[in-house]
């Protein structure tokens, strides 16, 4: 089946807001074997919306419209569906009751304009919304099915999953399963080479890669006549991918590197601290993205000035004078100082040149030393240990900092995997 995606809103057409719903919906549809053929974005204009719906339903079996279901005068998707169906509107009492209940729950008065959101084009079906007041609408433009969803991304996603996805059988008699494994530490082309024949286009399950923020995702789509077959093939391919990629795989689904590190630390009841220079707090920000971070993260130091490196972390003045702030010796001393002062089990330290200024021929922008120190007893060793490695991230300030912090997380992840195995 083919699909067309329509986004409605002046703020989209005028470029005040980037439309992320169309890409999100498309990716979800592709995952179940439905191919989007185009995306169209139109303004809050009755004729433009109605025209877009009529044209799309002539070209595609499934049309998904987002936006234009709010309570204000410029929300016209309801009216446009009625116009396209050449019909009128009627009050949908269960939707009105749901909207009234919503306002009672949040303790705010309901305005008359919200009553408009309970109006349904005659012959269409209302779809209840658990994220806000705007119901969605399902209408038939035979043979096409048209769904209209609110444009707020969380509501779009939630209502797609609840109201549209279960009704998409895909090809009759086929069951589709999808999943994604997340990797860090190798580029997309290296991952592709390691996957080899697993990435052949005619394979089922089919395996593909996408990259975002340094993380390479390995997507798997399994398409079989029964759920049992699809699930079994999915599990088998996932195992083959994991076997090919080893420790590059850190998680699945929407899992982040910090989620993976948090899970490993919590499993062994250990804590980490950070000592950051060039990343300026980004590493500890990543770690505290995880809810309940206090269970595995004690805190950290952002020692931008040399004075703070010496006074707060015990970095030696001679190390700074002899090797400079961006050096193996200083990275190791920052990590050791952080362990000593916190009593934590692990410390990650970073010192580098984020740019755009400050680079030299010997230490160009993007040079970053990352150290990991382990307290006595952490990871099963009896003696405290530390190691440092040099990385080059020859990019923009933002990317240098992002990749350096993620690389530090990955170094700790690999250490935790090794000590769990050892």
d(CA 405, CA 277) in angstroms, rounded, equals 11
* Binding to a second copy in span 356-375, by CB under 8 A: 356-357
Interior/surface letters 76-110, b for 16+ CB within 10 angstroms, e for the rest: bbbbbbbbbbeeebeebeebbebbeebeeeeeeeb
Give me the residues paired with residue 211 across strands: 216
Q: Does 74 bind a second copy (CB under 8 A)?
A: no
Three-state secondary structure along 48-90?
HHHHHHHHHHHHCCEEEEECCCCCCCCCCHHHHHHHHHCCCEE
Pick the stretch among 133-141, 273-281, 386-394, 408-416 that binds a second copy (CB under 8 A).
273-281
381 contact partners, CB below 8 Å, separation of at least 6:
374, 419
Nearer to a second copy, 26 or 95 (CB): 26
Taking residues 381 to 400 in sequence order and writing x for each that binds a second copy by CB under 8 A, - otherwise, the string is ----------------xx--
Displacement of CA 390 from its chain's centroid (Å): 28
How many positions of this chain bind a second copy (CB under 8 A)? 68
By CB under 8 A, is residue 29 in contact with a second copy? yes
Question: Chain centroid to CA 383: how far?
Answer: 39
| Start-to-end C-alpha separation, the chain | 51
Q: Is 27 in the site for a second copy (CB under 8 A)?
A: yes
Contact call for residues 49 and 80 (beta carbons, < 8 A): yes
Does position 285 interact with a second copy (CB under 8 A)? The reply is yes
Query: Contact between 43 and a second copy (CB under 8 A)?
Result: yes
Binding mask 303-342 for a second copy (x = CB under 8 A): xxx-xx--xx----------------------------xx
Closest approach, Cβ 118 to a second copy, in A, equals 25
CB of 401 to a second copy, least distance (A): 8
Strands 62-66 and 2-8: parallel
Query: Would you say 373 and 349 are in contact if contact means Cβ atoms under 8 Å apart?
Result: yes
Q: Segment contacting a second copy (CB under 8 A): 29-37, 66-74, 105-113, 314-322?
A: 29-37
Q: Which stretch binds a second copy (CB under 8 A): 97-105, 135-143, 289-297, 375-383?
A: 289-297
Name the residue nearer to a second copy (CB basis): 29 or 81: 29
Q: Which residues bind to a second copy, rule: CB under 8 A?
A: 12-20, 22-30, 35-43, 48, 210, 274, 276, 279-285, 287-289, 291-294, 297-305, 307-308, 311-312, 341-343, 354-357, 397-398, 401
């Amino acid at each position: 089946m083919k699909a067309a995606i329509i986004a409605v809103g002046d703020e989209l057409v005028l470029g005040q807001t980037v439309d992320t719903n169309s890409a999100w919906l498309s990716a979800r549809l592709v995952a179940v074997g439905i191919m989007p053929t185009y995306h169209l974005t139109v303004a809050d204009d009755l004729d433009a919306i109605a025209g877009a719906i009529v044209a799309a339903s002539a070209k595609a079996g499934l049309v998904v419209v987002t936006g234009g279901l709010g309570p204000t005068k410029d929300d016209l998707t309801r009216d446009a569906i009625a116009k396209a169906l050449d019909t009128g509107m009627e009050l949908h009492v269960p939707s009105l009751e749901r909207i009234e209940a919503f306002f009672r729950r949040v303790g705010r008065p309901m305005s008359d304009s919200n009553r408009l959101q309970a109006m349904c084009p005659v012959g269409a079906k209302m779809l209840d919304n658990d994220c806000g007041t705007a119901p969605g609408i399902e209408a038939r433009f035979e043979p096409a099915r048209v769904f209209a969803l609110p444009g707020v991304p969380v509501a779009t996603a939630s209502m797609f999953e609840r109201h549209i996805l279960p009704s998409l059988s895909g090809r009759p008699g086929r069951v589709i399963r999808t999943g994604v494994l997340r990797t860090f530490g190798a580029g997309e082309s290296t991952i592709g080479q390691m996957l080899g024949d697993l990435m052949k286009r005619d394979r089922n399950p089919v395996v593909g890669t996408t990259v975002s923020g340094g993380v390479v995702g390995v997507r798997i789509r399994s398409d079989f006549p029964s759920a049992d077959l699809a699930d079994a093939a999915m599990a088998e391919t996932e195992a083959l991918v994991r076997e090919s990629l080893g420790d590059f795989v850190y998680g699945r689904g929407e899992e982040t590197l910090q989620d993976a590190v948090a899970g490993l630390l919590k499993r062994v009841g250990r804590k980490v601290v950070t000592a950051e220079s060039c990343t300026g707090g980004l590493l500890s920000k990543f770690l505290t993205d995880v809810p309940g971070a206090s269970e595995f993260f004690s805190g950290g130091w952002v020692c931008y000035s040399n004075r703070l490196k010496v006074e707060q972390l015990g970095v030696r003045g001679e190390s700074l004078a002899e090797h400079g702030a961006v050096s193996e010796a200083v990275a190791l001393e920052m990590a050791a100082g952080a362990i000593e002062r916190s009593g934590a089990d692990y410390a990650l330290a970073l010192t580098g040149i984020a740019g755009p200024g400050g680079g030299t021929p010997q230490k160009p922008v993007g040079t970053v030393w990352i150290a990991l120190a382990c307290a006595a007893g952490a990871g099963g060793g009896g003696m405290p240990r530390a190691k440092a490695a040099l990385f080059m991230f020859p990019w923009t300030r933002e990317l240098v900092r992002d990749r350096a912090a993620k690389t530090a997380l990955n170094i700790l992840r690999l250490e935790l995997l090794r000590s769990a195995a050892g």
